[in-house]
Amino acid sequence: MDSSAHCVWQGDLSNGSGVTTLDSRAVAPFQVSWPSRAEASNGHTSPEELIAAAHASCFNMALSSTLAGGDTPPNQLETSAVATFGKTADGFSLTTMKLTVIGDVPGISADQFSEAAAAAKDGCPVSNALKGNVEITVDATLTA
């Protein structure tokens, strides 16, 4: 399956902005701009925020699969992903992605949950796309 999006940009980097549309139409078109990427969102989004959203979703799917494969399906997984964008020696880059997951998973220990989260981080397709370029960490907390 192919997934696609479309962005129309007007103006230069500092003063311009764009409108991005997901071809699935799952969400309304949204604004992107340099200030939303490097300073403050101000109601716009950034490529890094979109990657964080994709990573949180992908990670939850991978962790859900990992847990179900071990006969401990989750009742709920709540994951936040924080993508850090900053200046590096080579220019600007997405430098780190911090995943934080809280899981309600009956029949599993905290250590087992942490192990499953680490395996999901390593097996998630978005993690694999970032691997080698972005430092990815995961913090896993079990609630039940």
> Which domains can be identified in the chain, with CATH numbers?
5-38 (no CATH), 47-142 (3.30.300.20)
State the number of CA atoms in the 13 A half-sphere of 82 facing the CB.
8
Q: Is 51 helix (H, G, I), strand (E, B) or coil?
A: helix
Q: What is the pLDDT of residue 80?
A: 96
| CA 26 – CA 33 distance, rounded (Å) | 21
Q: What is the pLDDT of residue 36?
A: 85
CB 100 within 8 A of CB 139: yes
- For the stretch 81-120, pLDDT in tens is 999 998 888 888 999 999 999 999 999 999 999 999 999 9
Per the DSSP assignment, residues forming a β-bridge with 136 are: 97
Q: What is the pLDDT of residue 43?
A: 84
Q: What is the pLDDT of residue 102?
A: 98
Q: What is the pLDDT of residue 91?
A: 87
| CA 52 – CA 56 distance, rounded (Å) | 6
Strand order of the β-sheet with 30-33 is 5-10, 17-22, 30-33
Centre a 10 Å sphere on the Cβ of residue 27 and count the other Cβ atoms it contains. 10
Among 22, 37, 31, 16, which residue's Cα sits nearest to residue 87? 37
| CA 49 – CA 45 distance, rounded (Å) | 6
pLDDT tens track, the chain, 144 positions: 888 999 999 999 988 999 999 999 998 899 998 888 888 778 888 899 999 999 999 999 999 999 999 999 999 999 999 999 988 888 889 999 999 999 999 999 999 999 999 999 999 999 999 999 999 999 999 996
Q: Is 136 helix (H, G, I), strand (E, B) or coil?
A: strand
